[in-house]
C-alpha cells in the first residue's frame, strides 16, 4: 500500500487550529478581541494593512497581541500524547486534506471573483471553493459575513442574466447567502432585503428559477433566502406579488413533497402571510386544501410540518373566506383534521389547533357545521383534557369557551327534541 492509502487523520480539537490557516497553532497569540491565532498567520494579516480581527471583523483598538501560554501548553500536551507527532510536528490538517481553503486563500478568491466578471467558468470554480469554506465552520461564516462588499457581490451574481452557467452561479450564490446570513441578525437581514429588493425583479426572477429548476437542496436554500429577505410588510407584499412564487410554494406543500421542503415552504408562507392581501391570495389559491391533506394524511408527518401547517391555518382562519373554506362542503374534513391533532403531536400543535377551533366555534360562529364536526370527532373530550394540560392559560380558556358553546348546542338540541315529542301528545 502507498502512503496515501494508509495515512489516517487524527481529530484535532477545533480551538487548537488557527482560524486563518486552519493548521494546529505553533505559537498561539490572542488579539484584543479575545480571538487566538497562530503568530505567523496573524502577523501576515496585520502586515497586509488590515486593522480588523479576521474572525469577528471588529476594528482592532490595538494591533498588539499577547502569547496564549495556556493554550500553547495544552497543544504541547496533546501533541506529545499523539505519539508519532511528538516534537512539535503537527498532524495532517483534515480541512486542508479535504480542500478547504484558508482565510488568506479566500481573500485572494474574492479579489479574483471581482476581476473575473466575464469568465463565468472561473467564477463558478471560485464560488465552489468559497462554498467549501463557509460550510466548514462558524468562524468561516462570520469571517465572510463581516466583509462589506461580499454580500453585494453575491446579490449582483443572483440578479444577473440567466445563461446555463449563470444559473449554476446563482444556485451557489444562494447557497452561500443561506449559510452566512443568520436569521436572528436583524441588521444583516434588513441590509440583504434592501439589496435584493432594490433589484427585486431580477433577484426574484432568479430565485424563482432556482426553485423551479434546482435540486431539493437548492429549492430549500432559495426558499430560506426568501424568508430572510421577508423583513417587513412591504417586502412580504413584494415577494408574494411576484408571479409564480406563491404558486411554487403552494405546490411544494403537497403531501408528496419531501418533508424538509414542505417545512421550509410552510415557514415562508407563514412569514409572508401577515398582510391581509397575501392571506386572501393564499386562500384563493386553495392553500387550505393542501393543509387539510397534510393534517389528514395517514403517513407519519414530522412534528415541525404539523405545527407549521396548523400555524398557517390559524393565520388564514382570521379571514372570513378562510373560515368558509375550512368549514367547506367536504363533510368538515379540515375541521376533523384539526381536532385529530389536539393532544396528539405537541403542545405547540395543540395550542394552534385549539385557537382555530375557538375562532370557528366561539368568536365568529358563521358556520355551525364546525361545531357539529368538533362534537362528532370527540372534540369535547379532548378539550376537557386541554383544560387540565400544560398549555398556556389563554389556550386553556379558549378550550373552556368552545366547550361552553358545544354544551349550549347540546342543551338546545335536547330541548328541541323534547318539544317535538310533547307536541304529539294528545291532551286530556
Q: What does the pLDDT look like over 60-70, one tens digit per residue? A: 888 888 999 88
Give the pLDDT band of residue 168 (cuts 50, 70, 90): confident
The most confident of 198-212, 347-361, 412-426, by mean pLDDT? 347-361
Q: How confident is the model at residue 359 (pLDDT cuts 50, 70, 90)?
A: very high
Task: Read off the pLDDT of each residue in 347-357 and give the average, rounded to a whole number.
Answer: 95
- pLDDT band at residue 421 under the 50/70/90 scheme: very low
pLDDT grade, residue 407 (50/70/90)? Answer: confident
Q: What pLDDT, on a 0 to 100 scale, did the predictor assign at position 297?
A: 87
Q: Which residue has the higher pLDDT, 51 or 285?
A: 285
pLDDT for position 184: 75
Instruction: Indicate whether 367 pLDDT > 90.
Output: no
Task: Tell which residue, 212, 151, 215, 145, has the closest CA to residue 185.
Answer: 145
DSSP string, 174-235: HHHHHHHS-TT-HHHHHHHHHHHHHTHHHHHHHHHHHHHHS-HHHHHHHHHHHHHH--SHHH
* Global pTM value: 0.77
pLDDT, position 287: 95
- Residue 363 DSSP code: I
Q: How confident is the model at residue 13 (pLDDT cuts 50, 70, 90)?
A: confident
> Going from the N-terminus, what domains does the chain have, and what CATH number goes with each?
14-84 (3.30.40.10), 101-271 (1.25.10.10), 286-405 (1.25.10.10)
> Judging by beta carbons within 10 Å of its beta carbon (0-12, 13-18, 19+), is residue 106 exposed, middle or buried?
buried
For residue 161, what pLDDT band results from cuts at 50, 70 and 90? Answer: low
**DSSP labels, 77-146:** HHHHHHSTTTTS-PPP-HHHHTTPPPHHHHHHHHHHHHH-TT-HHHHHHHHHHHHHHHHH-HHHHHHHHT
The pLDDT tens digits for 375-392 are 899 899 999 999 999 899
pLDDT at position 258 is: 92
The share of the chain scoring above pLDDT 90, in percent, equals 42
- Mean pLDDT, residues 211-221: 93
Amino acid at each position: 500500500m502507498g502512503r496515501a492509502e494508509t495515512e489516517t487523520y487524527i481529530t484535532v480539537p477545533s480551538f487548537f487550529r488557527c482560524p486563518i490557516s486552519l493548521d494546529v497553532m505553533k505559537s498561539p497569540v490572542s488579539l484584543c478581541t479575545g480571538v487566538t491565532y497562530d503568530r505567523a498567520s496573524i502577523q501576515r494579516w496585520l502586515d497586509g494593512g488590515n486593522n480588523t480581527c479576521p474572525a469577528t471583523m471588529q476594528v482592532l483598538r490595538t494591533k498588539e497581541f499577547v502569547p496564549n501560554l495556556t493554550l500553547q501548553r495544552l497543544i504541547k500536551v496533546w501533541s506529545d500524547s499523539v505519539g508519532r507527532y511528538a516534537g512539535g510536528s503537527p498532524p495532517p490538517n483534515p480541512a486542508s486534506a479535504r480542500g478547504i481553503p484558508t482565510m488568506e486563500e479566500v481573500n485572494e478568491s474574492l479579489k479574483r471573483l471581482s476581476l473575473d466578471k466575464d469568465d463565468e467558468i472561473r467564477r463558478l470554480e471560485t464560488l465552489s471553493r468559497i462554498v467549501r469554506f463557509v460550510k466548514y465552520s462558524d468562524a468561516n461564516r462570520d469571517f465572510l459575513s463581516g466583509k462589506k462588499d461580499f454580500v453585494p457581490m453575491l446579490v449582483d451574481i443572483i440578479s444577473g442574466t440567466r445563461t446555463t452557467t449563470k444559473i449554476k452561479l446563482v444556485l451557489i450564490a444562494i447557497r452561500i447567502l443561506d449559510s452566512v446570513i443568520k436569521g436572528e441578525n436583524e441588521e444583516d437581514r434588513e441590509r440583504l432585503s434592501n439589496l435584493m429588493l432594490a433589484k427585486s425583479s431580477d433577484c426574484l426572477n432568479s430565485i424563482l428559477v432556482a426553485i423551479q429548476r434546482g435540486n431539493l437542496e437548492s429549492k430549500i436554500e432559495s426558499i430560506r433566502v426568501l424568508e430572510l429577505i421577508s423583513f417587513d410588510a412591504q417586502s412580504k407584499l413584494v415577494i408574494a406579488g411576484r408571479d409564480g412564487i406563491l404558486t411554487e410554494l403552494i405546490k411544494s406543500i403537497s403531501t408528496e413533497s419531501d418533508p424538509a421542503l414542505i417545512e421550509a415552504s410552510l415557514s415562508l408562507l407563514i412569514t409572508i402571510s401577515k398582510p391581509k392581501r397575501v392571506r386572501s391570495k393564499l386562500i384563493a389559491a386553495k392553500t387550505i386544501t393542501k393543509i387539510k391533506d397534510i393534517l389528514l394524511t395517514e403517513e407519519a408527518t414530522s412534528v415541525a410540518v404539523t405545527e407549521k401547517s396548523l400555524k398557517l391555518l390559524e393565520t388564514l382562519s382570521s379571514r372570513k373566506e378562510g373560515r368558509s373554506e375550512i368549514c367547506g362542503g367536504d363533510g368538515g374534513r379540515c375541521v376533523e383534521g384539526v381536532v385529530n391533532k389536539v393532544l396528539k403531536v405537541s403542545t405547540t400543535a395543540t395550542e394552534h389547533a385549539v385557537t382555530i377551533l375557538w375562532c370557528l366555534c366561539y368568536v365568529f360562529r358563521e358556520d355551525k357545521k364546525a361545531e357539529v364536526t368538533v362534537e362528532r370527532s370527540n372534540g369535547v373530550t379532548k378539550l376537557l383534557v386541554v383544560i387540565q394540560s400544560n398549555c398556556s392559560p389563554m389556550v386553556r380558556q379558549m378550550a373552556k369557551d368552545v366547550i361552553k358553546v358545544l354544551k349550549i348546542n347540546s342543551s338546545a338540541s335536547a330541548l328541541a327534541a323534547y318539544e317535538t315529542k310533547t307536541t304529539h301528545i294528545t291532551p286530556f
